[in-house]
Homo-oligomer: A and B are copies of this chain.
Amino acid sequence: MPAPAAPVMTASEVSSYLDEVFPQIKTNGDNIAVIDVAPGNALVRLEADDKHLRPGGTVSGPTMFMLADLAAYAVILAHIGRVALAVTTNLNINFLMKPEPGPLDATATILKLGKRLVVTDIAISDSGGELVAHATATYSIPPRT
């Protein structure tokens, strides 16, 4: 299999950039950070707490969607650099288990890095390593000038 592209930003550079372009994350009080970046993938962690829960006391769907979408964005930024206006065109998510509050790890992997479209795969696991959700997301990349 061909080697995945090398990242052009570090985990802390991606984290800082996300804080800058998504100030809402901090405003909403979400505790979320890019933990690691490697060729072809990125790991993003959310500390899910009370405000992320749904009836029954488990982490809500929109919270996992947000984490999946952000992890996809992080892996793309890490590999193509600062492109704030990259936008999600499609996201398909399967909810597999209802996670308890606590840390959730999203590992995003680049499936295709095209000029116009980037396709990613995102696996979300709980602190016990159980897969709780799985998504695929496509981002459209604006023409670079």
| Residues of A participating in the B interface, judged by any CB pair closer than 8 Å | 1-2, 21-22, 24, 27-28, 51, 53-56, 60-62, 65-66, 69, 84-85, 87-98, 111-112, 116-117, 119, 121, 125, 128-131, 134, 136, 138, 140
Contacts and interface: CB of A to CB of B under 8 A. Distances in A.
A94 B89 contact: yes
Given A61-B88, A87-B95, A94-B111, 12 more contacts: A1-B125, A1-B130, A1-B131, A24-B60, A28-B28, A28-B51, A62-B65, A62-B66, A62-B69, A65-B91, A94-B136, A116-B140
Contact of A96 (B24, B98, B112, B130): B112
Contacts of A55: 21-22, 84-85
